[in-house]
Amino acid sequence: MRLLLLLTWPLLFGCNLDPQPLLQNYQDGEFVPADVVDLDLEESPPELGDNEPFIGNLGPSDVGGGHTSGATLTISGTGERVCVIVDPQSVFRDDLQLAGDGDEYWNPFMDDFPHDDGDIDLQAGLAAFYTGTPGVELGDFFGSFPDSNGVDRAVDLNLCLMNDLHGIAGGTAGRGTPEWCSFETQADVDYRIVLRVFSVPVDDDELTYALQILDGECPGNINECTLRGDYDYREGLEDIIPDGFSTVEHLYCDGLE
């Protein structure tokens, strides 16, 4: 009798095992295709040396189909180093604030809300080595070459390398945290910058980001406040953020003087 009750328990109360609603690209009963943006086609595309960051938006990846959302930008090499910085929405910890001395302090009046954060991985390399199609399919800079025995060997031609916490090149910054890199360029040669969506905020399935390309080496003190504008205004924020602040970025960067 007990065995019969256990077997019929799901039938009595119902059980929905459909995993589709858990996917970020499943919205309103249908799958949303990957969002691949060619920034070169924007009315005002990001340019090398812009003083103000470019603010863009990207949707979720098509996880089941293996298609990644992201954006690409083509720049012409200068013969010198260039620096690329991208800051994904929003801040890593909403309950921390940045002070004027550069240290972070805990804000006891604020909780952390990771559902409003996104993550973008940054890559760059010679446009000729890029495997994707701008505006259609996101690619990378992996290639191959035959060794002396005629065996194909994989090679990663990505020039945009960040050091991880242990100082090893090839790390990524993670959720809600800026990424940056600096690399040498050849004059008048095209380079492609790739913003690869690792995750989008789960509260609205849309990621806002700030992007800037600078001449020379990257600044030595890049943080959440280096590029501003990687947030979105949403109803209900006024119930979360203390009075006097419009966004979690505003609170983090300007909360302590």
| 3 contact partners, CB below 8 Å, separation of at least 6 | none
Residue 166 has pLDDT above 80, yes or no: no
Least Cα distance to 197 among 40, 67, 44 occurs for: 67
Pairing state of beta strands 36-38 and 70-76?
parallel
The whole-number pLDDT of residue 2 equals 53
Residue 24 lies in a domain: no
**What pLDDT sits at residue 213?**
97
Q: For residue range 211-240, list pLDDT tens digits in order.
A: 999 999 999 889 999 999 998 776 666 677
**Considering the domain boundaries, does residue 5 fall inside one?**
no
Range of the domain at 98: 34-141+151-254
pLDDT at 83: 97
Cα 13-9-28 angle, rounded to 5 deg: 35
pLDDT band at 126 (very low <50, low <70, confident <90, very high): very high
Band (10; pLDDT cuts 50, 70, 90) = low
Q: How confident is the model at residue 32 (pLDDT cuts 50, 70, 90)?
A: confident
Q: Within a domain: residue 12? A: no
> What is the H or E stretch that residue 4 is in?
helix 2-13
Note whether 90 and 233 are within 8 A (CB).
no
Assigned domain for 10 exists: no
CATH number at residue 122: 2.60.120.380
Return the SS3 of 14: coil
Q: Is residue 28 part of a domain?
A: no
Strand order in the sheet with 119-126: 36-38, 70-76, 190-199, 119-126
How many residues are given for the chain? Answer: 257
pLDDT for position 99: 84
| pLDDT surpasses 70 at 116 | yes
User: How many domains is the chain built from?
Assistant: 1
Q: Is residue 238 within a helix (H) or strand (E), and if so which, with residue range?
A: none
> Does the residue 190 lie in any domain?
yes
Q: What distance in Å separates the CA atoms of residue 74 and residue 58, rounded to the nearest whole number?
A: 18
Q: What does the pLDDT look like over 38-87, one tens digit per residue? A: 999 999 999 999 999 999 999 998 877 788 999 999 999 999 999 999 99
Please tell me the pTM assigned to this model. Answer: 0.85
Whether residue 195 is contained in a domain is answered as: yes
Q: Average pLDDT of 104-132?
A: 91
- The larger pLDDT score, comparing residue 242 to residue 200, is at 200
Name the more confident of 208 and 33.
Answer: 208
| 100: in domain | yes
